[in-house]
Structure 1
């Protein structure tokens, strides 16, 4: 999803406030990490959670509340609230998907460890589940939109755009080719030739390949993926909680 951050205001006094400056720094960090192919998706999710905590503090400042109360910003604020609700729905779906995959992998891991049980059956179930889940996310992605109005509150629109972009990256990571930190560490143990051949491999696609190829499954690869899924679950849960606080602060401000 192509996103542009073309609405920034230099007229707001909030730009010189330390909290506003801190938010700008966090936005810049997330933008730069988005462009870095070696950036850990888990670290970016952590940064996103910190961003929304900072936005929550920014909302509570008097000048922000004044801006929120201006009539010309009403539509923009409503868009932000609607957008954050859709992103929360995406968080919940992401957590459900990650949990479902983890449960299947833990069962496979148990069979590999015990060396007994219907391994091929569990592998087929996991791959079928992955295929089904892959069809779910594009439908949710289409519902996500970024508010474009309300120039004086553009920082919130940019934060929403970056949030949407990161969840697009999370989807690509789980079902596409983006690599995560844990697998990049393992890749360093391979020969240069093999690293080049598997440059686009991450934890998810590596295990998919092993399952589909019929090669001997490595319990270590399954364990790495389970651990990575747990990290992602924890990160998305933290983002979800910070988004809820962010929404509550918005609603409280509007109610005054």
Structure 2
């Protein structure tokens, strides 16, 4: 089976061709296999946000190749990149970005609605199933603005899974939560990772949570290094 993600010699520069050209990423190589649960750490300004945008096909490298599920994205037209991103990659952010006037189920349906263009019963069934997976069946008809922060982030995770992606990118997904809610959301992502073999790449500043991942990638000055998780090892499913 092909790796879910493969980066080869990724470089990213800004102001290319000008006297102030600056290279942010310096030849990064990285592979993520199916079912991995990986933390991405690094200080502000290290290049991790730039790297995450490139992995998520939201930005293009200056040079190097990005392959998702064995598909080299170099040279693909924008429409094909958009389609690949929409089907293969799910996103969870520090702020949930739910539509507050919509119900939990309607928010989870949004990726499929955008993809198909109209609402279907099957779409609703998928949303209900995902909300059950994140323990929110009782709240599926609640408007997002009537839910707690932890519940809203669970809806965001369900939404990220709506297209059954092989890779979920989570950017500080627990950053706005209290410690109890953060731990609960982390455990939820870990359970989904184990049950679905979905690959997770989680940007976090929380070393305690990072040490419960399979491995930790450190981005420092535009370069990446990896290490195994701490003595605690991966969290139990």
Using structure 2 for the length normalisation, give the TM-score: 0.29
Higher strand share: 2
Higher relative contact order (CA 8 A, sep 6+): 1
